[in-house]
Amino acid sequence: MTASSMEELVSLCKRRGFIFKSNDIYGGIKGLYDYGPMGVELKNNLKQAWWKSMVYERDDVEGLDASILSAPVVLQQSGHEDTFTDPLVDCKSCKSRWRADQLIDNTCPECKSNDLTDPRPFNLMFKTAIGPVDDGSSFAYLRPETCQQIFTNFKNITDSTSRVVPFGIAQIGKAFRNEITPRNFIFRVREFEQMELEFFVKPGSDDEWHKYWVDKRIKWWEAQGVSKKNLFPVDVEQNELSHYSKATVDIMYEFPHGKEELEGIANRTDFDLGSHTKNQKDYNISSDVKKNDHSTTKLGVQNLEEKTSYIPYVIEPSAGVDRGLLAVLNEAYTIEALENGKSRTVLKLKPHLSPIKAAVIPLKKNNEEIVMKAKTLKNELQNLGMGRVIFENSGNIGKNYRRHDEIGTPICITVDFETLEDNSVTVRDRDSMSQERVLVKDLSQYYQKYFIK
């Protein structure tokens, strides 16, 4: 099941501490959101799942955590300074695109229509001053995508790890875009996170690797609970490709507001390393790179068979953490009719993504023995390292179940008087709502089975 509207998700996210409007007590700023106690756990779990699949489960990918502030020259060479500048408008009639400051009487030069979109400065990059004097002489960009520092670190990583092509570099981190019309909750925001892999391959093997990564990424989204029927891989039309791309497949997802991009998988050719390398003339670079007079480092690699050096091609699966989280929440959101005529809201998250892995609830809050036992169990389960386990000492049991259904906790464990006699606890399963007695000595194994599939 999915949510029937974005409002349902927004409301649950606020009520249960997943996502809040940023700067809210001062009226907020559009396009910025804060992740609350449940949101930060869900987000970390999603990122962890990506990292596991991209780095730990492979033997051909290394990780990186590079700086957000980027030297302007990096974004000049990447093409961002050029392609992200002027205010643009689109003509809604003939679909042509113009610089707003070059129009006469706000009229489309092609078809003379006045039906134009609002001007959108194409420079989506945020700038900030570096150093104590803000006179414009020294500034940095807040990176608009995480990948550029992967390219600038290419030689550092190959030198320090002895990796040879094909191999990849993975990074998760913040990216910033001055979106003119942020909208649809956390779908289009100004500050977001990306999970990006740059996978370097030999030219000629790029089409095959591109296909490999598209398949792999769709399967990964499915493993996060996103149903296949809501995922749509779409080949981006040639005339809509980014300046660096030979081919891009966008994985579209049926969000509550419509079908839009969740992840893009691009064949970036040799554009990036070719743009950032020193001595470009030494290589047979196939893409239309920007001349580079600044780089201090050659980024080519050896072709050992042919005894030549070349600039590798790059396949890039680039996913948004926030959009991913929205998709995962949407898929998990379920309203179920109960036998008593009422209904319950339950987040049927995959257990590895659940913000809280288990809640341990003492049935009598004022019975010291029961409370102590519950605390001990909480600590034991916590030490198994699956994620956050909480000791739940507030509200009645019914309220606790309702809250944990709504935040997607896979199991609730109740410690009661019987526990003190027979050393067993009641375990309630989120999805089936069934309850069973489990011996405390078997609890660790029982609990871990939820997460190790």
Task: Tell me which residues touch ligand ATP (CB under 6 A).
Answer: 145, 177, 179, 188-189, 192, 194, 261-264, 318-320, 322-323
Q: Which is nearer to ligand ATP, 192 or 283 (CB)?
A: 192
Q: Which is nearer to ligand ATP, 39 or 320 (CB)?
A: 320
Q: Which is nearer to ligand ATP, 41 or 145 (CB)?
A: 145
Q: From the CB of 33, what's the least distance to ligand ATP, in Å?
A: 10
Q: From the CB of 222, what's the least distance to ligand ATP, in Å?
A: 17
Q: Which is nearer to ligand ATP, 129 or 234 (CB)?
A: 234
Q: Which is nearer to ligand ATP, 236 or 397 (CB)?
A: 236
Secondary element (H or E) of residue 213: helix 206-223
- 175 with 188: CB under 8 angstroms? no
Q: Which is nearer to ligand ATP, 86 or 179 (CB)?
A: 179
Question: What does the H/E/C string look like for 390-406?
Answer: EECCCCCHHHHHHHHHH
Residue 51 Cα distances to 2, 20, 173, 260, angstroms: 26, 26, 12, 24
Q: From the CB of 79, what's the least distance to ligand ATP, in Å?
A: 12
Residues 6+ apart with CB under 8 A from 238: none
Q: Which is nearer to ligand ATP, 221 or 447 (CB)?
A: 221
Pairing of strands 388-391, 356-362: parallel
Q: What distance in Å separates the CA atoms of residue 390 and residue 360, rounded to the nearest whole number? A: 6
Q: From the CB of 175, what's the least distance to ligand ATP, in Å?
A: 7
Q: From the CB of 124, what's the least distance to ligand ATP, in Å?
A: 8
Q: What distance in Å separates the CA atoms of residue 172 and residue 194, rounded to the nearest whole number? A: 6
Q: Whose CB is nearest to ligand ATP?
A: 320
Q: From the CB of 2, what's the least distance to ligand ATP, in Å?
A: 18
Helices (H), ranges, 91-205: 148-152, 154-161
Q: From the CB of 144, what's the least distance to ligand ATP, in Å?
A: 8
- 225 with 201: CB under 8 angstroms? no
Q: From the CB of 162, what's the least distance to ligand ATP, in Å?
A: 30
**Cβ density class 177-198: b for 16+ within 10 Å, e for less:** bbbbebebbbbbbbbbbbbbbb
For residue 75, give the 3-state DSSP assignment.
helix
Q: Which is nearer to ligand ATP, 172 or 301 (CB)?
A: 172
Q: What distance in Å separates the CA atoms of residue 60 and residue 169, rounded to the nearest whole number? A: 9
